[in-house]
Structure 1
Amino acid sequence: MGDSSSFRWSELVVVRDGVRLSCRDWGGSGPDVLLLHGLAGHAGEWDATARALREAGYRVLALDQRGHGNSERRPEDVSRAAYVADVVAVVRELQLQRPVLIGQSLGGHTALLTAAAHPELPSALVLVEAGPGGSNPDVQAGIAEWFASWPVPFPTREDAVAFLGGGKRAVGEGWASGLEERADGLWPRFDADVMVRSLDDNATRSFWDEWAAITCPTLAVLGQGEQGGIIRDEEYAEMVRLRPGLYGVSVPGTGHDVHLERPGVLHDLLTGFLD
């Protein structure tokens, strides 16, 4: 199992309360790093980043979060607390030593909440297009509508790349690599209703108290392109006000999927911050 690069990953499985959690373990003997993908994503989105960090001397794992990829597809509990408990279980079961938590979008939100609830666990926190946010009662309807627009099954990988990338091939490739090939075409490895339920908490509340409680060094990486990212100026300003020591960087020419659009730039930002 793995890819054709000089480093190959193997699958590690952790079971928590009967829920199967699959990790890509890239190996390495340096400081531990745990990568968390966003909503409807998969661990493979991080392959370029994982390889680069592994080459830089880190021990790297990427988690398929519950409801996604090779992990349990239809877990009963998809609360924010369940996602956090999964991260804690993976860290403890695999004996990671104060890992750096790096997450994009909802994965960044999971990392944020983990760092807040378990300050002893991470050595550092990196949020890629993620923040404490505010309650958004319309978010679930918007996400459900987006999933309903997917013309599944995709007849070919090229069709999937074109649709999911929105004109950005690197983004489309990242999303398409997470699809499951069946006899009639390519299908998502998640169920839309599970994804919508995963946003129950985000639809009703913000997480500013949790943000203020974080004590470890934190880097926020934001998209800065024509469409921009999801972290607005007002939210970022409040993040800085509550935690003046925050490191923040905007990456020009990117949107929400910074890790797919500019993996080399992201790697330089990560290693510079961690060093």
Structure 2
Amino acid sequence: MTEPLRATVLRREDVDLHVLDTGGDGPPVLVLHGLAGSAREFEPTARALAPDFRVLLPDQRGHGRSTRRPADTSRAAFVADAAAVAERVAGGPVRLVGQSLGAHTALLTAAARPDLVERLVLLEGHPAGDDPEGAARIGAFLASWPLPFPDREAARAFLGPDLLSASWAADLAEGPGGLRPRFDADVMQAVIAAADRPRWAEWESVSAPTLAVFADTGLFTEAQKDEMIARRPATVRADLDASHDAHLEVPDAWIALLRGFLAGAGPGPGPAAGPAEG
């Protein structure tokens, strides 16, 4: 049986941040999950990197086992949380990894706190802002879930067969009457609405060596990907044959890219196609 990762709770102002930790003496790697996700979906990534790296997986505010309804859902609050985990749990600079909204947080953290970020990996992240209509659509979808689900089979039947839905179903919490997600729809809408403006200045100011990983059928167009790299040409780009949640769909390809870059190797500049199967 796989041993559980060590858990700790970091108190920052009025928010409790739940952090999973592989432990060990390897270089610290801090991984930030996406919107409506949790640390749990990156446990396979953490286990694959350990023991060569010490991997920290926080539930970001409003998610997972961290404070469910934080008063502050701003981008600055998420950045301050990431910096606090680096300083107070990792004990100093980290190799910072983020997916989707977590990549957005990671990018802003690298810009705001270059002293804490040695290397930066963005999986399906982009400096462009999200439109208000998109935030409203996400909020409406999450609010449409027929809660509580009586069991995980009912949750999977509603959410669908894809791997992200399976991850959501596996992470549901038991409570009165059945199973509920570890987030609230209105909080998720507020969180994504805060990422409503482009952050090109912050992106162009990042000094840490950076790997940008895109999915072939992810959220961004080729023009958007090209603009991101053109604005910071030193960025290493890699592409995976997957959709937005590539870390779940092609884990072997994802880990190969991640491990190589975190160790100081990795693909050369420009597109690098990953294996089609994980």
What is the TM-score with the length of structure 2 in the denominator? 0.90
- Cα distance, 1:177 vs. partner? 2.4
Q: Please state whether the residue corresponding to 1:123 is helix, strand or coil.
A: strand
Change in CA separation of 1:194 and 1:142 when aligned onto 2, cut-off 3 Å: same
Are 1:217 and 2:209 matched, yes or no?
A: yes
Matches within 5 A, 1:119-134: 119-134=114-129
Q: Please state whether the residue corresponding to 1:260 is helix, strand or coil.
A: helix
Structure 2 residue aligned with 1:259:
247
Amino acid at match of 1:14: L
Matches within 5 A, 1:150-161: 150-161=145-156
Q: Please state whether the residue corresponding to 1:27 is helix, strand or coil.
A: coil
Matches within 5 A, 1:185-224: 185-203=178-196, 205-224=197-216
Correspondence for 1:45 among 25, 41, 56: 41
Structure 1 Cα separation of the partners of residues 214 and 20 of structure 2: 25
Q: Please state whether the residue corresponding to 1:194 is helix, strand or coil.
A: helix
Correspondence for 2:62 among 63, 67, 75: 67
Change in CA separation of 1:98 and 1:260 when aligned onto 2, cut-off 3 Å: same
Structure 2 Cα separation of the partners of residues 173 and 79 of structure 1: 28
Select between 61-70 and 172-181 the one with higher mean Cα deviation. Answer: 172-181
Structure 2 Cα separation of the partners of residues 161 and 40 of structure 1: 16
Correspondence for 1:268 among 239, 247, 256: 256
Select between 26-35 and 127-136 the one with higher mean Cα deviation. Answer: 127-136
Structure 2 Cα separation of the partners of residues 37 and 250 of structure 1: 19
C-alpha contact (below 8 Å) 2:130/2:192 kept by paired residues: no
Structure 2 Cα separation of the partners of residues 106 and 271 of structure 1: 21
- Cα distance, 1:183 vs. partner? 4.3
Q: Please state whether the residue corresponding to 1:73 is helix, strand or coil.
A: coil
What is the TM-score with the length of structure 1 in the denominator? 0.91
Structure 2 Cα separation of the partners of residues 244 and 17 of structure 1: 38
Structure 2 Cα separation of the partners of residues 218 and 132 of structure 1: 14
Gaps of 5+ in 2: 264-278
Are 1:148 and 2:140 matched, yes or no?
A: no
C-alpha contact (below 8 Å) 2:33/2:99 kept by paired residues: yes
Structure 2 Cα separation of the partners of residues 21 and 70 of structure 1: 8
Q: Please state whether the residue corresponding to 2:22 is helix, strand or coil.
A: strand
Change in CA separation of 1:61 and 1:95 when aligned onto 2, cut-off 3 Å: closer
C-alpha contact (below 8 Å) 1:163/1:172 kept by paired residues: no
Per-residue deviation, residues 149-205 of structure 1 (Å, max 9, x unmatched): 3222222212323443x432x3333222221012422101111111111123323x1
Amino acid at match of 1:230: L
- Cα distance, 1:135 vs. partner? 4.6
Matches within 5 A, 1:214-253: 214-224=206-216, 228-252=217-241
Structure 1 Cα separation of the partners of residues 130 and 139 of structure 2: 17
- Cα distance, 1:133 vs. partner? 1.4
C-alpha contact (below 8 Å) 2:28/2:90 kept by paired residues: no
Correspondence for 2:161 among 163, 167, 178: 167
C-alpha contact (below 8 Å) 1:44/1:177 kept by paired residues: no
- Cα distance, 1:237 vs. partner? 1.1
Structure 1 Cα separation of the partners of residues 223 and 129 of structure 2: 11
Structure 2 Cα separation of the partners of residues 159 and 216 of structure 1: 44
Select between 16-25 and 126-135 the one with higher mean Cα deviation. Answer: 126-135
Matches within 5 A, 1:14-163: 14-55=10-51, 57-163=52-158
- Cα distance, 1:229 vs. partner? 0.9
Query: What is the aligned-residue RMSD (CA, Å)?
Result: 1.5
| Higher relative contact order, structure no. (Cα contacts within 8 Å, ≥ 6 residues apart) | 1
Gaps of 5+ in 1: none
Structure 1 Cα separation of the partners of residues 121 and 154 of structure 2: 33
Instruction: Give the share of equivalent positions with the same residue, in percent.
Output: 48
Structure 1 Cα separation of the partners of residues 32 and 156 of structure 2: 22
